[in-house]
Structure 1
């Protein structure tokens, strides 16, 4: 401080004490800044350590224990949602030689010898001629960009896509259910698998759900949401949370853009083709659930019909993006206020006039219809541009339709878990099904939005509606709970639950199609700043060897089990590489984009970019089990969600582990394809899981099952394998750590 005082101007002896205070303040400020900088650098260095990913489950090394203790010390007591953002490391650019080698290894099982040799030749030519220059540009970008791939991924994969958002881009999340037991046959479902409906009143369910969503938004603004920790240790990037609310994807002729507002105090509501603006706040703050219920009930009771063409106006958001962009310019001129009310809403609410959910009369078909209604609806009853649409059915069932460009499923899933837990366990309902509290009769009526639709738009709406109905009608959705065993059994086998399912999916798909195919599994890269996803190429040589062994009657029980464990270990290695930024696909994608910018022709990268994923898979994570009242509602578990197929002749498969003994699968395909059938694949998945589980039983070779849906086939499903039988006979061997996606 004496040195600082010497540098300060001398204002006379009377100000000597003031100079001392100023010197002390400057010294304290510099010391505080140095401390903050040191903590920031130390935490970033600590978060760059990934050795813990390579350790087996339950066996933590001394180095990892020390690392974990230091992370907790440098993180502070109560980190907020965005506390770690500045300390997160940037996603590394892998070695181009390693990426090409891993790529060739991944395509070898699905290519003939001739095709593989041709692809390997293209790869070698790429490494010799173009790889070094493209890699240098990519390294250059990684030095100044927050993430070397995420902005291009959002731009080129999502915003520049000209196809319909419906089915092709959006995904859905379901209401929870309860009471799943050990059978999925139609005779047992009505008693054992019932979807939770806290209230049958549509307006009441909408009131509580909207209020819960806005409570989540308030917590988001105040950063009161705890940052997500992978395996309870490593913080993940929270950047994607910023655009959950007040966000719309605005169509453009060549490229869309994401429009995000800082705040919005209303929601847009669609009911029977009529649009309404419903305010969410009063002079005293956020409206109560009962007041929101009152507003939604007013909309339901409004007898006014939709204006001509207004009923099908939302079909424009399901049209090809360039067509919708041109029509939107006219709407922006003729119906600016209504369009602004919809696009500027916190989110979109669809009060569906039809019921949905599981029914006792036809449980299988009703569950499939529920999924279809959430994914596509009727093509004109969702505003697909909004970040998400809350769908409330006439019988009180809920669902969420989410646009994909702004964030990935774990983000919306986190919000959905909070919403469901809050509206059921905290807000609750009265005995007669209404929201708790009292109505507010003084509230103004919901504002009916008026659309001035000129004649030239009528034809565009008709064309969009026709295309949306065709696309909606072509989607084949199938949802089924597999309740013979679940995560508990897999945990007793000392195996990764995700790798277990992925390997079984390879067996199921091979039995369905008679061949192997490129398989896409989504894994996150949120260990890094602004990371999004990476691809795990689950169709490995080890998985193919296991599948061939299962289909070979000459192979013994022990041989199949050994090959299965090898396939699981390989998948775990690929998953960990993806999590640590050493995957294949995002690196090749970024190299391809650089080649486009430089106008360089690369046959190898063009070949990679043109590949089709005939099997696209994803696990829906359960992130906040502490929110649910497990004691009073032990079976109240998430039902997950699904998405459309990535290829016209392929499947989209998502799955979620519900508790310890149930796995719910969501399967989609196109009815226009003669090669796919969602229900057929569902049966193969069930049979494959049972066959794999029987490998862990002491006894004979697993029973081979033939595809079929008759009574003879359904008989073994009712009693073949219970979770207790499996758990009591599973050997315990070491395995890798449990993946989180």
Structure 2
């Protein structure tokens, strides 16, 4: 399978309000239309690079076989040229030749549960409240902050982001609020209700498995203040004290085909249909969670990460979610908090930029207390539970509990140095970390594996991601040389620097639309669309190995001292996400307990050792010799 957890690798963006707070209608559209279109890379270039990336991850025999298939595929007048021309025609006719295909194949046709397998979570710093009042006050301030951010989106005053002096596509910011995934029997869909004639003015709040519609705007269109929101949240809390309710939200954690069947059962009832529609239409969801079980400080962050990803199972907070909602902010009574987002509309960076903005907003002092105008009671959403729906819920409980026990996750802070150290050595911090990951994996398994790191294509109109392939000829040369007693430190450092530079070069290639993975996917999908027989290059063992990403990685940098997390994309693989701060690095490593060969804590240990060893190599080798 392709690595469907496409994520973003870009520097953190400072989102501050622009000088103009006046609505700027048309600004977004004008900006978007001015962006370049995603190119279709030259066929020969992609095929040559494909053969290069296969070298460290397949046997010589497999490589030789693939070389013959590639030569046949790229022969003049052959199937490769025909598919390439088809892609080029598609690129001329569409705003982005890849975006619709990617949305469908990577997300909407993906049938595994979005929980763990697709939706990333984010662990925010622990808040210092320890009771219900603190929880609700923080939640109210967070809601007010998101609404403030939403006003910039609605007024089209959101600052345009730039990467290396080039403007980036801002479309994802306009897709994450008021949107929801809708289950289908073979393919899901995503609806953005902000684009409808009557955009929503409410959010969903869920507590003790019970859902509420909370209007967050006054009749004159102004947003409620945090004081007013706090009052409304208290009403919700007091109305939802009973916990003996069916956890209807747990249905959204199921396999997509199972959820689609249960969904059709659920909405046969008119009341249920209206309640579901209210959740789907809401601007976002706030989950007021029960406190997570007490654990040691060492285990705390890992336990919170698991809560963000899956809610802890049927006995804890999984029923306190609607996993199809694009944005769900999670605030527990013990001060743990974060977010989980449904991945189809957006990569990680716009989500983290929103989080950075909101976290800063929550720190603002209240200058003026709001006048307490009586507000209507938030509407509790009712569900009629038939025996059939009850049965669906019980099955979903069983399935999520299996998933919860299977997820092995380790969140840790590497405290010895942060991104400042590689920068001082004139090395890319991201590339340095990626090479360390290659060394850690090699130490564990005595081989390297196909490694995915996401690269942003947001320099292009409607751009999503492509793949940076971290397992390269140069990284393999370095990790193979580290333990070679016949090699001097000077040579090892030269190989390290070469590996880091090679990764940086591949990154530059990827963000400029010249990487291989999305191009190969496009050629394959073009073949399916043209109803020609599938070319052998895509049926080859090497192609399967190349797409079996045992390391699925992502840098998601943030100004906030947080870290994103997600599950592995293959049964025998790892998910690794990291946020490099100036003097430390936050890591989240995941694996599946059902695979005897993988262990998240073990990879975390080897990763820490690899980073220290690489630092030591550089520091102990005189610069004059480099």
Q: Flag whether TM exceeds 0.5 (same fold).
A: yes
Partner of 1:241: 173
Partner of 2:440: 508
SS at match of 2:362: helix
Q: TM-score, structure 2 length as denominator? A: 0.89
Q: List, as ranges, runs of 4+ consecutive aligned residues in structure 1 with deviation greater than 4 Å.
A: 77-83, 729-733
SS at match of 2:205: strand
Tell me by how many angstroms 1:380 deviates: 2.7
Q: 1:320 to 1:682 in 2, by over 3 A?
A: same
Q: 1:316 to 1:552 in 2, by over 3 A?
A: same
Correspondences of 1:557-596 after superposition (within 5 Å): 557-596=489-528
Asked if 1:156 is matched to 2:105, the reply is yes
SS at match of 1:154: helix
Partner of 2:232: 295
How far apart are the structure 1 equivalents of 2:373 and 2:443?
61
Asked if 1:519 is matched to 2:448, the reply is no
Specify every segment of 5 or more residues in structure 2 that has no aligned partner in the other structure, as ranges. Answer: 1-23
Correspondences of 1:182-581 after superposition (within 5 Å): 195-197=126-128, 201-231=134-164, 233-262=165-194, 263-284=199-220, 285-302=222-239, 304-306=241-243, 310-311=246-247, 313-334=248-269, 335-355=272-292, 362-377=296-311, 378=313, 379-424=318-363, 426=364, 428=365, 437-438=369-370, 440=372, 442-581=374-513
Contact persistence 1:212–1:419 (CA under 8 A): yes
How far apart are the structure 1 equivalents of 2:241 and 2:461?
50
SS at match of 1:695: helix
Contact persistence 1:484–1:662 (CA under 8 A): yes
Q: 1:265 to 1:694 in 2, by over 3 A?
A: same
Specify every segment of 5 or more residues in structure 1 that has no aligned partner in the other structure, as ranges. Answer: 1-76, 177-194, 431-435, 626-636, 700-728, 734-741
Match of 1:96 among 43, 60, 65: 43
Contact persistence 1:82–1:223 (CA under 8 A): no
Tell me by how many angstroms 1:197 deviates: 3.5
How far apart are the structure 1 equivalents of 2:608 and 2:101?
38
SS at match of 2:417: coil
Tell me by how many angstroms 1:163 deviates: 1.1
Tell me by how many angstroms 1:730 deviates: 7.1
Aligned-residue RMSD, C-alpha: 2.2
Tell me by how many angstroms 1:731 deviates: 7.7
How far apart are the structure 2 equivalents of 1:294 and 1:664?
36
Asked if 1:678 is matched to 2:610, the reply is no
Asked if 1:662 is matched to 2:584, the reply is yes
Partner of 1:603: 536
SS at match of 1:300: helix
Q: 1:561 to 1:286 in 2, by over 3 A?
A: same
Tell me by how many angstroms 1:124 deviates: 2.0
Q: 1:366 to 1:604 in 2, by over 3 A?
A: same
Aligned residues: 583
Q: Spell out, residue by residue over 1:509-537, the C-alpha distance to the aligned partner (whole angstroms, 9 max, x if none).
A: 11122211000010001111111101011
Contact persistence 1:492–1:730 (CA under 8 A): no
Q: Spell out, residue by residue over 1:449-503, the C-alpha distance to the aligned partner (whole angstroms, 9 max, x if none).
A: 1101211111111111111111122111111111111111111101111111111
Q: Spell out, residue by residue over 1:177-235, the C-alpha distance to the aligned partner (whole angstroms, 9 max, x if none).
A: xxxxxxxxxxxxxxxxxx4537851111110111111111111111111111113x111
Contact persistence 2:208–2:240 (CA under 8 A): no
Asked if 1:142 is matched to 2:91, the reply is yes
Tell me by how many angstroms 1:80 deviates: 5.4
Contact persistence 2:53–2:469 (CA under 8 A): yes
Partner of 1:85: 32
Tell me by how many angstroms 1:373 deviates: 0.5
Tell me by how many angstroms 1:554 deviates: 2.2
SS at match of 1:245: coil
How far apart are the structure 2 equivalents of 1:78 and 1:510?
53
Contact persistence 1:82–1:238 (CA under 8 A): no
Match of 2:61 among 114, 135, 141: 114
Q: Spell out, residue by residue over 1:686-722, the C-alpha distance to the aligned partner (whole angstroms, 9 max, x if none).
A: 10000000112236xxxxxxxxxxxxxxxxxxxxxxx
Tell me by how many angstroms 1:397 deviates: 3.0
Match of 2:124 among 168, 175, 181: 175
Q: 1:609 to 1:517 in 2, by over 3 A?
A: closer
SS at match of 1:286: coil
Contact persistence 1:80–1:225 (CA under 8 A): no
How far apart are the structure 2 equivalents of 1:150 and 1:732?
48
SS at match of 2:56: helix
Deviates more, 1:295-304 or 1:558-567: 295-304
Contact persistence 2:452–2:467 (CA under 8 A): yes
Q: 1:656 to 1:82 in 2, by over 3 A?
A: farther
Partner of 1:71: none
How far apart are the structure 2 equivalents of 1:222 and 1:731?
56
How far apart are the structure 1 equivalents of 2:522 and 2:327?
28
Partner of 2:569: 646
How far apart are the structure 2 equivalents of 1:148 and 1:732?
48
Contact persistence 1:314–1:383 (CA under 8 A): yes
